Structure 1
C-alpha cells in the first residue's frame, strides 16, 4: 500500500511539474510569436500592409472561425492572436478574429454529439445540447460585431482597463518586467535556433515555431490538467447543473479554468445530455460559463508581453473576456434572446435526427466549407 501511495504522489508531482513547464512554454511561445511577427512586419505599419486582405472585419471573423475549427482549440488561436497583437496586428483585425474563434471552438462538442448517432433519441438530445452552444455564439457575434464596428464599445472599455493596469498612476506593469525576465531565455533560445534563416524570413519561422509550441502546450496542458483535476471537475458538473442558471454559469467557468479548455468541459456534458440525465435547457448555462472560463488563456498569454506592446496585448485579452461576459449578460439576461439558441438547437436536432446527412452537412458546412469558400472568394 505504501508503494502504491508513493507512486501516486510521484505521478501527481510529475503532473504538476508538467503543468508549470507547459504554462511556461506557452508564455515563451506567445512572446516568440510577437517578436517574430514584429521582425517580419517591421511593426504596426507593416502589419497593416500584411493583413490588407483582412481589412474587412467579416473576413477576419471567418479567418478566426476557420483557424479555430482546424486546430479545434480557441485557447490556441486566442493565444496566437495575443502574440500577433504584441507584434503589431491592428486591434480592428484582431477583435473580429477573437469573435470568430468563439464560433470555431464549438465544433468539438458538436462532433462528440455525432458519436450518439446510432440511437435516435440519444442523438437528438446530444445534438441539441451541443448546437445550443453554436447558436449562442453566432447570436453573440450578430449582436456585438455590428456594435463594435459602429461604436468600438469593447475596444474602448478594454483599452481603458488595460491602460489602468499597464500605465496606472501607482503601478506600471511596463516597469514590472519579471515576466519578460522569465521568458527571455526561452525566446532567445528559439531565436538562436532559427537564426540561420536569412533576413526577415527569420520572423516567419519564429511565428510558425511559436504557433506550434502554443498548440503543443495548450493540447498537453489540457490533458495533464484532466489527469489531476477532471475527477473534481466531473463532481462540479454533476453537483451544479440543474441547480439554476447562476450556478450553471459559475460551474462552467470554474471547470473550464480548471481544465484550460472549453472544448473539454462542454464535451464532457454531451454524454450526460444524450443519456437523458440533463436537458438542453439545464446544460445551456454551463456552456455559457465555459465561454467565460476559456478567456483565462488569453489573459495568461498577455502576461508574457511587456514593454510598449503590453497594453495592446492586454487589451485584446480583455476584449475576449468582455465579449463573452457581456454576451452572457445580454443574451441570457433578456428572455426573448435567451430562447433563440434553445429553439434553433432543438429544431436543428429534430431535422438532424430525421436526416443524419443533414446533421453532418451542418458541421462540415458551418465550420469548414462556407468559411473556406468565402476566404477563397476574397483572395
Structure 2
C-alpha cells in the first residue's frame, strides 16, 4: 500500500493548496477512505495521478524509462509487501500458491525439454565430438551439441568425461566449452517466444533472453582469438593443476531442485546419457568400438521390465535411483521408436511450458497490479555484485543456468526486472553453471578433466571482468540485446529466425567450412579459401550497406511496410463488415433503395 499512501498524502496536500484560497476549511475535510477510493477509481495512467507516479498495469507502464523511475525506501517496500488486511492476505496466499503450482510445472516442462532433446539429438550430438585441434571446429561443436541436448551442463560433463578418458585433448576441449557457453542461451530464447501474444512483453522478454547471448558471443569473440594465439587459459589452468594428483572417483551431487522435479519426470521419460558419452568416446562400457547408437538396439529386457533386468538399453533408460522404467520405455524398442517417443515428449514439454508461462505471468500480473514502479525497482534493482552472487547461488542449487535464466526471462518481459538487472544475474548464472563441470571433474578423478573445468570457470570470470565493471563496456551487450528486442516490434517471428540462423545455420556452415581446412587435400583447402573469401566479402558489403548506404532505415522501412500490409489483410474482413453495416444504416436513414432494387421494380411494372 506504499504507493497508495504516498499518492493519498500528496493528493491531500495538493487539494489543500488549491482550495485554501477558494473554499472554507470545513469543506475540504473528507474521509481518507473516500479520497483513496476516488484516487484509485479508473486511474490507469501516471498522467491522472497528482504525483505522476507509474503503477504496474498502467496503460503507459512500458513507456517509463529507468531514469524516470523515482527512488523508494526499503520501508516503503516492506510496507507494500506486509501491510494488508485479512482479505488481501487470503488473495495473496491464493495467488502465491497458484504461482508456485505453475512454477513447478514450468520447471517440469524445462526438465522434460532437456530430457527429450537428449533423446532426439543425443546420437547426433555424441558423434560431433572428437579430438579436433581446430579452434573454430571445437567452438561450433560445442554450440551444436548444446543446442541438441538443451543443456550446457550435460555438454560440459561429456567434454570433461572425454578429457578424463583421454579421448579429447585439453586444448580442444577448451574451445568446445566456449561453444557450450553460447549454446546454453537458446533455451531461454525459446521461453521468450511464449510471450508472443503481447508486443511489449515480447520485446522486453526477448531482450532479456538475448542479453545472455550477446555477452557470450562478445566474450568468445575476444577470448577465442586470444586463447588461440597465447593459450592463456590452458597455461593458467595447467599451472594450477600441475601438482594435482589423480584420485578415486567422487560422489555425484544433485541439487535440491532435481530431487523435487526429477521424480515426476522420471515416471514419464529418462534419458540415458551414457549412450551419448559412449558414442562421443567411440567405445562402449565394455571397450567395444562403436560409431553410432545402433549398438544399443534393440532394447533387451528379461522378465520384469526394470533396470536390473534390462541388459541392453538405448537412449531411453530407467531411473537409477528406483530402478523403475518410465512410461515411454519399451522392451524391444528400436532407435527410431525411442526418438519418436522423445519427439512426442518434446512437443508435450513445449505445450506445458507455454501453458505454465501464460499462467505464471497472469498470476504475477494480478498480484503486482497497482504496485508502484518505484517499489518494484527498489526491490529488484540490487547492486551488481549482489545480483551476480544470487545468480551464481541459484544456478548452483538448480544445477542449470538455463533454468535460472528461463525463469527470469518472463519477469523481464513483464517489466518486473529491468534489463540492467538481468545482466548481472545472467553473469552469475554463467559462473554457477561451471560448478557442474567441476563436480563432473571431481567425479572422474582425472587431472586433465579438472583443468578443463577450471578453464571454463576462468573463461567466464575473464569475460565478466572485461564487460561488466566498466559502464561503457557493460552497455555493449545491453544495447545489442535492446536492438534485438526492438526487432520483434516490426517482425513478430524474428525470434524464430534468430534461433535458426545463429544457433543452427551459422554453426553448421562454419563447421563445414572449417572441416575443409582439416582435410589432407589441397583441393579442399583451396575450396575452403574460396568460400571464405566469398563469405568475408558478403559480410563486409553487408556492413558497408547497413552503415554507409542507409541500410538500417531501408531494412526498417521494409519491415514496417510488411507489418502494415499484414495488419491490413488481417483487418480487411472487419473493415468490410463495418462498411456493410454503415451502408445499411445509411439506407435506413435516407430511405433510398439500391439501384438493383429499382431496376427490379421497373421490370415488374413493364411486364
TM over 0.5: yes
Distance 1:120 1:80, change over 3 A: same
Residues 317-356 of structure 1 show CA distances to partners (whole Å, capped at 9, x for unaligned) of: 1001111112112211232221110000001111122102
Q: Hey, what does 1:234 align to over in structure 2?
A: none
Quick one: distance in 1 between partners of 2:498 and 2:178? 20
- Separation in structure 2 between the aligned mates of residue 285 and residue 240 of structure 1, nearest angstrom: 15
In structure 2, which of residues 482, 488, 511 is the aligned counterpart of residue 375 of structure 1?
Answer: 511
Q: Residues 140 and 511 of structure 2 are in contact (CA less than 8 Å); yes or no, is this contact kept in structure 1?
A: yes
- Equivalent residue number for residue 160 of structure 1: 239
How far apart are the structure 2 equivalents of 1:298 and 1:213?
24
Residue matched to 2:138: 60
Task: Describe the SS at the equivalent of 1:163.
Answer: coil
Q: Distance in 1 between matches of 2:236 and 2:504?
A: 32
Name the structure 2 match of 1:177.
Answer: 248
Aligned to 1:86: 164
Alignment check: 8 A CA contact 2:249 2:444 kept: no
1:339 matched to 2:470? The reply is no
Secondary structure of the structure 1 residue equivalent to 2:146: helix
Count how many residue pairs are aligned between Structure 1 and Structure 2: 294
Residue 201 of structure 2: which of 107, 122, 132 is its match? 122
How much does 1:358 deviate?
A: 2.6
* Corresponding residue of 1:145: 224
Question: Quick check: 1:64–1:97 contact (8 Å CA) kept in 2?
Answer: yes
In the alignment, structure 2 segments of 5+ residues that lack a partner are 1-125, 252-273, 298-311, 321-325, 327-376, 516-607
Match of 2:289 in 1: 200
Q: Is 1:324 matched up with 2:403?
A: no
CA–CA distance in structure 1, aligned partners of residues 410 and 508 of structure 2 = 30
1:63 Cα deviation after fit: 0.7
Task: Give the whole-Å Cα distance in 1 for the aligned partners of 2:314 and 2:379.
Answer: 36
Q: Do 2:189 and 2:495's aligned partners in 1 also have CA atoms closer than 8 Å?
A: no
CA distance in 2, matches of 1:305, 1:197: 18
Distance 2:477 2:316 in 1: 35
Q: Output the CA distance in 1 between the equivalents of 2:496 and 2:225.
A: 30
Aligned to 1:20: none
The runs of 5 or more residues in structure 1 that have no matched partner are 1-36, 38-46, 168-173, 181-186, 221-237
Select the structure that is richer in helix. Answer: 1
Residues 58 and 114 (structure 1), Cα distance of their counterparts in 2 relative to 1, 3 Å cut? same
2:382 is the alignment partner of 1:243? yes
2:360 — aligned with what? none
The residue number in structure 2 matching 1:282 is 421
Is 1:134 matched up with 2:213?
yes
Cross-structure match for 1:313: 449
Find the residue that maps to 2:443 and give its secondary structure. coil
More divergent stretch after superposition (120-129 vs 155-164): 155-164
Query: Which of 256, 260, 267 does residue 406 from structure 2 map onto?
Result: 267
CA–CA distance in structure 1, aligned partners of residues 236 and 313 of structure 2: 29
Q: Given the two structures, how large is their TM-score scaled by the length of structure 1?
A: 0.69
Q: Secondary structure at the match of 2:250?
A: helix
Q: Is the 8 A contact 1:195 1:202 kept in 2?
A: no
Cα distance in structure 1, aligned partners of 2:464 and 2:458: 10
Distance in 1, Cα, partners of 2:208 & 2:248:
44
CA gap 1:198/1:339 in 2 versus in 1, 3 angstroms: closer
Q: What's the Cα RMSD here? A: 3.7
Check conservation: 1:114, 1:127, Cα contact below 8 A: yes
Conserved? CA contact 2:249–2:443, under 8 Å? no
Q: Is 1:75–1:298's contact at 8 Å kept on the other side of the alignment?
A: yes
Sort the Cα spacing of 1:206 and 1:246 in 2 relative to 1 into closer, same or farther, 3 A.
Answer: farther
Q: Name the structure, 1 or 2, with higher relative contact order (CA <8 Å, separation 6+).
A: 1
TM-score, structure 2 normalization: 0.44
Cα distance in 1 between the residues matched to 2:440 and 2:393? 19
Does the 8 Å CA contact 1:113/1:123 hold for their aligned counterparts? yes
CA gap 1:206/1:323 in 2 versus in 1, 3 angstroms: farther
> 1:110 maps to which residue?
189
Q: Structure 2 vs 1, CA of residues 378 and 281 (structure 1 numbering), >3 Å: closer, same or farther?
A: same
Pick the aligned partner of 1:74 from 152, 175, 184.
152
